[in-house]
Amino acid sequence: MDVSDALRHNVWTTQDTDADDDAETGREPDRYDAGGNGVWEPPRRELPVVAVSATVPASFPRDAGLRAPTVSYESPFAEAYESSLLYVPHAQGDVPELPVRTYGKRQSLDTAAHPKWAVGIMADLVEASGGRALVLSATAKAGRMYAQELRARAGGRWRVLSQWDGLGKEATTRAWRQEETSVLVGTRSYMTGVDAPGATCQLVIVDRVPRGAANVVDDARVEVLAQEMSEFRARDLVYAVDAAQLLAQAAGRLIRSTSDRGMVAVLDPRLLKTQKVKYPPSTRKIYKDALAHFTSRTASVCTAKSFLASLTSSDTDSAEKAAA
């Protein structure tokens, strides 16, 4: 269903009772009936409308029938983001080569093999952070594997909780917050509504851009948009924009107060234009815009681990001074 026209004519505008009779001014009719007679629509006046959200998708004005610009305002957390780091691994040199599938001359990410590739980098980052992490997985199967591997690597030094422990989201999140060095592993439902200010969450790991699989509802949205643009652009405005919104919300789990700082790691090298396997430029821009708050970025795992180690050292020094 496309509700934009209904919203525009019944919510965002009202009949303009002060307007002159358009039929007498010589204006072209809005449409013609079956007999070829001109039909004039009642004049309408646009109402002042402000739609506010922390995550307004680019397609919102069109979807909602609004003829209004989208304006971004300065974040109160800008300084916290400037003190933090975004890490997207370059799959060469200091990390293993990215698993790919080949179709003739085309290559794409092997999503089935990606979790085994990602978990090694993930474990190194959690080690450098001394726990204190939220791991967000694109699929439940990968998430379970991450939790199992991270528990084995932790060796009891920090607790690893997951959404599959049978406690429920609220209880699992509460248990994670209560232990500063603990690690929480979850999927898409944990990309929103999870809040842990302070050192408990100084590392957020997203294994790959959480793009949803094709489905009849979103395909219908694409079909409507494709009447006005290319199908590729339409798919970007539906599937890529939706994924970017969820990616922004996932990355937002890191900064929950103005004093927070840390690192977001998106283990999806396709975000880098220097990779052999990468997103198309227009799609990559949509995803990168979702992470625009991070002004400091790196593709080096060594730099990422050093940054996390410095955070852990700083937290330890602060705790010792407080105890003294």
pLDDT tens, the chain, 324 aa long? 788 889 998 899 998 776 555 555 566 766 676 677 777 767 788 899 888 887 777 778 888 998 888 888 888 899 999 999 999 999 777 788 899 999 888 899 999 999 999 999 999 999 999 999 999 999 999 999 999 999 999 999 999 999 999 999 999 999 999 999 999 999 999 999 898 888 899 999 999 999 988 899 999 989 988 998 999 999 998 999 999 999 999 999 999 999 999 999 999 999 999 888 999 999 999 999 999 999 999 999 999 999 999 998 766 555 555 445
Q: What's the CATH fold of domain 79-323?
A: Rossmann fold (3.40.50)
243: CB partners within 8 A, 6+ apart = 209, 210, 211, 212, 287
> How confident is the model at residue 249, as a pLDDT?
93
> How confident is the model at residue 45, as a pLDDT?
87
Task: Please list the residues that pair with 203 across neighbouring strands.
Answer: 133, 263
Q: Which among 52, 30, 54, 27 has a CA at the least distance from the CA of 40?
A: 30
> How confident is the model at residue 135, as a pLDDT?
98
> How confident is the model at residue 92, as a pLDDT?
74
> How confident is the model at residue 21, as a pLDDT?
54
pTM for the predicted model, two decimal places: 0.81
CA distance 201 to 199: 5
> How confident is the model at residue 207, as a pLDDT?
97
> How confident is the model at residue 26, as a pLDDT?
60
Domain with CATH 3.40.50.300 in the chain: 79-323
> How confident is the model at residue 184, as a pLDDT?
97
